[in-house]
Amino acid sequence: MDNITLARLLDETAALLEIDGADPFRIRSYRRAAEAIEQQTAQLAPLATPDADPKLLLAIPGIGKGMAANIRDLVATGSMPLRDELMTKYKPTMLELLRLPGMGPKTVALVWSALQVGDIDALEAAARAGHLNTLPRMGEKFTAKLLKGIEDYRRNSSRFRIDEAKEFAERIAKLILAFPGIDQVTPAGSLRRGRETVGDLDLLATGPACEADVVAAAVEHVATLPLIDKLMARGQNKVTFTLRNNLQVDVRLLPRASYGAALQYFTGSKHHNVALRQRALKRGLTLSEYALLRLEDNAIVAAASEEEIYNALDLDYIPPELRENCGEIEAAAAHTLPKLITLRDLRGDLHMHTVESDGTATILDMAKAAIARGLEYIAITDHSKNLAMTNGLDDVRALAHIRRIREVDAELAELFAQEKGPQWLRYRNAKAGDIRLTHYGEVIEPQPPTAAFRVLPGIEVDILAEGELDLEDATLAQMDIVVASVHSRFDQPIDVMTARVLRALENPYVNILGHATGRKVLKREPYAIDITAILRRAAELGVAVEHNAAPARADLNDLHLRLAKELGVKLVINTDAHATGELDQMHHGIVQLRRAWLTADDLLNTRRAVDFLALLRKRP
């Protein structure tokens, strides 16, 4: 039984306990255990066998004697007594009801006990028949909202990818900023924390118009924005609505003086906030979205900035990406938070395409775009022949392409030698206007170059059915960068796919493993290969593993990135750009790396080009 299943079973038990009206603190402990298990990079099942050291499970915060016994039961039998008992009392489909808006545990328990309604279809039927109106607190409005909720749930219960969510956040922010007196709109929530997907948007607005005595007008402005599909709720300083694509947006308008407290509060995560408030209480303080207050006299200790609040709690400032209550508070207290990687640390991008296969720009265009973004080297890695639909290269074309790449490389080196930099800055400045080198507010200033920009010849070679590659070794030997990727046939069993990739890693010319998992971020599809096995082998062989920065193609999740670091895997981050503008996708990938606590030292392509090449796998 893997960690994800374990966590899901405990989380379901928590939900059933909630419906059962159990002690809320006991419920919380089940949730906490589920979250703790999800965060582990090592599988727990081997630690839960009868002959394993019991201390190992107990070492995980949130798991005590009782929960350890539950875990051992789950691993041994697939279930546990409490869960079995609850499952006979209630229906598993009731868990789904909790996902509907307005349906909490109490209401689910009520419709079950009063009407024997235990699944979505029955609930909808009861609502349409007016049966719900006979129950307390469930009138016309509740029923109408619920029916809409059921409809939305069936149509689209998925989350939104971070790049899409960010785009909407920016559009809405622009509309809100049109109101005079609102001078700042900041995305908070999981978008600011850099989660791969977000369930809803949290936007925090502030400025003179958001002060308590005048905020009503600004609320009216937000509640009547033209792109609102359905207004869900509106309060004194909060507006909730959905867009036509069903993305839910929460806008809070808060006074400038409490901006820091509000930003901290709405950025979350929930668990991080809970832990922070507990810490505050231990210090005789109380934390809310308005301020950090001293309990005895309600004096404001900190409110204007997040830094003040963390510092007042004897903590170093914690970057949003780390705020998951996953050890960051302890590290901040001990001053041992890592110096997280930033976009600025990146020096090269080793995976991109040109017009030679399925890209839209030339080699020189890609080089200029990379220079404009402050990079020092790139690798051109067009597709190989097996991907016919991308106009992939056979051996003859691949060798000819290498010659052109080397020509561009030499051309740029000559320019650098002749003009010592100014020419490079011209490339930069020509593009500076329409390139947004920002990372959630941090503006990246390109630095003057200290060495010639390098364009490295490479290829993204396709892994075939038996694990062999679709180009000759003699061709691959000419390349600096050989990215091996799986592009299709993900319908194969996981062991078949894994063996295929492992075999490809053995090829002495492969120095980077490209996308291989067939993972789709929004579809909850299982991985097509055993990532743990692949990472272990890659570490042994010295093959670098790519983290694809494009949100649509991100193969590795937070957990895999942390595991890769633990295993000493050589990691690189690449955009896989098919157009110059796609190089900007890099910042999404950087955020993912930050979430995994990675620093500049954990990546190969934060090094200078010459150092980087020396760190790659040794070739025969």
Partner DNA sequence: GCCGTTTTCGGCCCGACTGTTTTCAGTCG
Binding stretches for DNA (CB under 7 A): 23, 25-26, 28-30, 32-33, 61-68, 82, 98, 100-108, 136-142, 145, 189, 200, 202, 233-238, 248, 250, 266, 268, 270, 273-274, 277-278, 280-282, 286-290
Distance of closest approach, residue 157 Cβ to DNA, in angstroms: 13
The position carrying tokens 């007594």 is 81
- 293 strand-pairing partners: 286, 300
Nearest to 547 by CA among 490, 491, 592, 482: 592
Distance of closest approach, residue 42 Cβ to DNA, in angstroms: 17
Distance of closest approach, residue 40 Cβ to DNA, in angstroms: 14
> What distances in angstroms separate CA 585 from CA 51, 173, 373, 400, 521, one per listed residue?
48, 21, 12, 29, 15
Distance of closest approach, residue 471 Cβ to DNA, in angstroms: 50
Distance of closest approach, residue 305 Cβ to DNA, in angstroms: 19
Distance of closest approach, residue 311 Cβ to DNA, in angstroms: 19
Distance of closest approach, residue 113 Cβ to DNA, in angstroms: 12
23 versus 53: smaller Cβ distance to DNA: 23
Distance of closest approach, residue 107 Cβ to DNA, in angstroms: 3
- 381: phi > 0 → left, psi -120 to 50 → alpha, else beta; which? beta
Nearest to 595 by CA among 551, 529, 537: 551
CA distance 142 to 331: 45
3-state SS, residue 492: coil
Distance of closest approach, residue 202 Cβ to DNA, in angstroms: 6
137 versus 524: smaller Cβ distance to DNA: 137
Hey, how many other C-beta atoms are within 10 angstroms of the C-beta on 294? 16
Could you list the beta-strand ranges (E) of 549-586. Answer: 571-574
DSSP string across 154-191: HH----EEHHHHHHHHHHHHHHHHTSTT--EEEE-HHH
Distance of closest approach, residue 480 Cβ to DNA, in angstroms: 47
231 versus 494: smaller Cβ distance to DNA: 231
Beta strands 300-302 and 248-254, pairing class: unpaired
DSSP string across 448-490: PPSS--EEEEEEEEEB-TTS-BSS-HHHHTT-SEEEEE--S-T
> What distances in angstroms separate CA 421 from CA 347, 417, 453, one per listed residue?
17, 8, 10
171 versus 230: smaller Cβ distance to DNA: 230
CB hemisphere CA count around 428 (13 angstroms)? 18
- 467: phi > 0 → left, psi -120 to 50 → alpha, else beta; which? left
CA distance 519 to 250: 30
Distance of closest approach, residue 11 Cβ to DNA, in angstroms: 14
287 versus 505: smaller Cβ distance to DNA: 287
Q: What are phi and psi of 588, to 5 degrees?
A: -65, -45
DSSP string across 87-143: HHHS-TTHHHHTTSTT--HHHHHHHHHHH---SHHHHHHHHHTTGGGGSTT--HHHH
